[in-house]
Amino acid sequence: MDKRRLIIYPILLAIVLAIATRGFTHWGTDALFIPFLVTLGYFTAFYIVAQIINNNSIVDIGWGLGFVIGAGTTLLITDEPTLLSYVVFGFIAFWGLRLSLRLLRRNWGKPEDFRYAQWRKEWGDNHRLIAFFRVFMIQGIINFVVGAASYMVIRYNVFAFDDATAFVVGLGLLIALVGLFFEVVGDEQLRRHIKKGEKKLLTTGLWSVTRHPNYFGEILIWTGLYITGASLIGADISIFLYLALIISPLIMATVLIKISTPLLEKHMQKYEGWNDYTKKVPMIFPWGKKG
């Protein structure tokens, strides 16, 4: 392990533990420490299966379900869930199960994704140990951090319809629903396009508004769920802790914009008309810069 990771990993772990224990002050069921441990346990189980079948890329299938596990565990340890607690959990459950089932159907019976296969070669004889930390534990930690803002809402919200924050909570849920629309419809339009067997770009429907409607939708989902945190005003948590959890949608947006999108667009460049397409349609945000 290089020196940079020796520094980054302990810092990352400290940040995550601070979130899970409300600043290292709550280590029991009255915070998010249990959901954090369950999330790591879930990804550890995926790691074990991956080693048995020699396919680390199955971690992608487990990504969406990881949020369902985290949200479900949080709901279980919440003494008096509100209606909003159930709504946020239901939203995450629908989104996460759909994503995992979609990836399961798409990847079932296929060999290990080329990225994970390449890492396996690069890591040599220590590939199993390195994969545990750099693939499964890192994804488990990121999964928890992204979901943490929503788990806070499930666990601590004091939502009431007659409360002054109800409008903001409703706005957050509306943004999340718009995001779900972009993701579900965008994925379905792409599925039908691929089914036709046409080796060309999809430039109609939502794909004429943004080059990655599913990624745009996912950013809206986590941003909207974060906004529902207005329901935490008056709850027994520090407002500064919740404000710090803006890291939740920011991490998701950063991963999608800076990592996932460039990798996918590098693959899409081979299709005819790509340059014209990028000049007409923004990369992620419909109001964003074209090109």
Q: How many CA atoms lie within 13 A of 279 on its CB side?
A: 4
Cβ atoms 179, 249 nearer than 8 A: no
Instruction: Report the mean per-residue pLDDT for the chain.
Output: 92
Q: How many CA atoms lie within 13 A of 267 on its CB side?
A: 6
204-248 per-position pLDDT tens digit: 999 999 999 999 999 999 999 999 999 998 888 888 888 889 999
Say how far apart CA 38 and CA 143 lie, in whole Å: 12
Instruction: Return the structure tokens found at 52.
Output: 């048995």
Burial pattern 189-218, b for ≥16 Cβ within 10 A else e, equals bbeebeeeeeeebbeeebbeebbbbbbbbb
Look up the pTM and report it: 0.92
pLDDT(42) > 90 = yes
SS3 197: coil
Q: Nearest 5°: phi and psi at 290?
A: -90, 160
pLDDT(81) > 90 = yes
SS3 290: strand
pLDDT at 2: 63
In 3D space, the residue among 22, 57, 16 whose CA is nearest the CA of residue 40 turns out to be 16
Say how far apart CA 32 and CA 174 lie, in whole Å: 26
Instruction: Return the structure tokens found at 106.
Output: 């798409």
Range 267-291 average pLDDT: 90
167-183 per-position pLDDT tens digit: 999 999 999 999 999 99
- Please name the residues in contact with 221: beta carbons below 8 A apart, sequence gap of 6 or more: 95, 176, 179, 180, 183
- Which H, E and C letters describe 249-285, residue by residue? HHHHHHHHHHHHHHHHHHHHCCCCCHHHHHHHCECCC
Cβ atoms 182, 216 nearer than 8 A: yes
